[in-house]
């Protein structure tokens, strides 16, 4: 068969990255003769040399081989995605998340996911951020989507950060502050409604309003819908992620409060034991969530 094979691509990329056949063999964990034979096989397939010797150097890639490099990378990526998909079989994805993400961000990406992966079940668990992270560590969940502060916690890097999620302060259209540009000082003595009595939103808002005297009142409504109903029926200021309130803002049933000082930003974070492989069911689902977040941000720029 006269087809380009993944082994050809791996050998070619290893020689390019490591500067020689011997170094490429060590990087791949195979005998040097194996790499040499693979390169000869590739030359027979292409009908042109892929390496050239230079004085003082072991080998270099020919221009023809260098032109093949991006295609070799693509073929390896496709192969790895196919293997990941086959290994996943029909195993369900156990995904933990907070209520706002499950109710207002996941429906669109999940609908697209089910068209691509009709045989893969996604099982959603709702919980608090810290509990969800512990469940991933205990292998009770495959992944967790949580809301964190924009700065990583001690010992936490940014590898799992999906995207920033802007905080929106929302009020009823008839609210006395609805048509004004306000400062943090104008928010003293006001009541704020949050969906959860703990978590990143509370911590960030407390820090942002720390100077206020007297301190504003932070109440919990128990859910995102509870926040919306409370705001619509009174003069409380709702605190919600942008993706959870975008429909109401577009319809005009809620109004975003305009504040002079920039509001803090939270981040959506993915926690897994191992990074999801590109092209795997979980990798596909996370990619769809990233795209949904990007669309929401673009719509509110």
pLDDT tens-digit series, residues 65-120: 999 999 998 888 888 777 766 665 567 889 999 888 898 889 889 999 888 888 88
Q: Which residues contact 166 (CB under 8 A, 6 or more apart)?
A: 241, 242, 263, 265, 297, 300
CATH number of 166-264: 3.40.190.290
Domain 93-163+267-299 identical in fold to domain 166-264: yes
21 vs 220: CA distance, rounded Å? 64
Q: Are 237 and 162 in contact (CB under 8 A)?
A: no
266-293 exposure pattern, b = at least 16 Cβ within 10 A, e = fewer: bbbbbbeeeebbebbbbbbbbbbbeebb
CATH number of 6-88: 1.10.10.10
CA-closest candidate to residue 240, choices 253, 227, 251: 227
- Stated pTM of the model: 0.62
Q: Quote the pLDDT of residue 96.
A: 94
Q: Are 84 and 283 in contact (CB under 8 A)?
A: yes
- pLDDT tens for the chain, 301 residues: list them: 578 899 999 999 999 988 888 888 888 888 899 999 999 999 999 999 999 876 656 778 899 999 999 999 888 888 877 776 666 556 788 999 988 889 888 988 999 988 888 888 899 999 888 889 889 888 889 899 988 776 655 554 444 677 777 889 999 999 999 989 998 888 888 889 988 777 777 788 888 887 766 777 888 888 899 999 999 998 899 999 888 898 899 999 999 999 998 888 888 888 888 777 777 888 888 888 888 877 766 665 5
Domain ranges of the chain: 6-88, 93-163+267-299, 166-264
> What secondary structure does DSSP assign to the chain, as a single string?
-----HHHHHHHHHHHHHSSHHHHHHHHTS-HHHHHHHHHHHHHHHTS--EEEETTEEEEE-HHHHHHHHHHHHHHHHHHHHHHHHHHTTPPEEEEE-HHHHHHTSHHHHHHHHHH-TT--EEEEE--HHHHHHHHHTTS-SEEEEEEESSPPTT--STTEEEEEEEEEEE-TTSTTTTSEE-GGGGTT-EEEES-SSSHHHHHHHHHTTT-SSPPEEEE-SSHHHHHHHHHTSS-EEEEEHHHHHHHHHHTSSEEPEESSPPPEEEEEEEESSPPPTTSHHHHHHHHHHHHHHHHHHHT-
Give me Rg for the CA atoms of the chain.
Answer: 26
CATH number of 93-163+267-299: 3.40.190.10
């Amino acid at each position: 068969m006269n087809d380009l094979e993944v082994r050809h691509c791996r050998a070619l990329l290893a020689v390019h990255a490591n500067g020689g056949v011997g170094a490429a063999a060590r990087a791949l964990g195979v005998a040097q003769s194996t790499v040499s034979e693979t390169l000869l096989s590739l030359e027979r397939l292409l009908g042109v040399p892929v390496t050239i010797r230079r004085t003082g150097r072991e080998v270099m890639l020919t221009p023809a081989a260098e032109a093949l490099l991006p295609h070799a990378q693509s073929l390896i990526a496709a192969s790895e995605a196919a293997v990941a998909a086959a290994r996943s079989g029909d195993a369900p994805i156990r995904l933990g998340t907070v209520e706002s993400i499950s109710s207002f961000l996941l429906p669109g990406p999940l609908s697209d996911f089910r068209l691509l992966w009709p045989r893969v079940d996604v099982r959603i668990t709702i919980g608090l951020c810290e509990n969800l992270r512990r469940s991933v560590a205990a292998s009770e969940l495959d992944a967790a989507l949580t809301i964190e502060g924009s700065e990583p916690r001690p010992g936490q890097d940014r590898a799992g950060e999906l995207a920033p999620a802007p905080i929106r302060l929302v009020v009823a259209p008839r609210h006395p502050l609805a048509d004004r540009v306000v400062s943090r000082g104008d928010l003293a003595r006001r009541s704020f409604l949050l969906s959860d009595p703990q978590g990143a939103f509370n911590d960030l808002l407390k820090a942002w309003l720390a100077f206020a005297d007297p301190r504003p009142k932070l109440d919990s409504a128990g859910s995102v819908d509870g926040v919306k109903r409370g705001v619509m029926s009174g003069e409380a200021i709702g605190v919600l992620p942008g993706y959870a309130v975008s429909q109401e803002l577009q319809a005009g049933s809620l109004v975003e409060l305009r504040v002079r000082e920039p509001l803090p930003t939270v981040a959506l974070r993915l926690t897994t034991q191992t990074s999801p492989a590109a092209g795997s069911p979980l990798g596909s689902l996370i990619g769809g969530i990233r795209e949904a977040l990007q669309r929401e941000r673009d719509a509110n720029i």
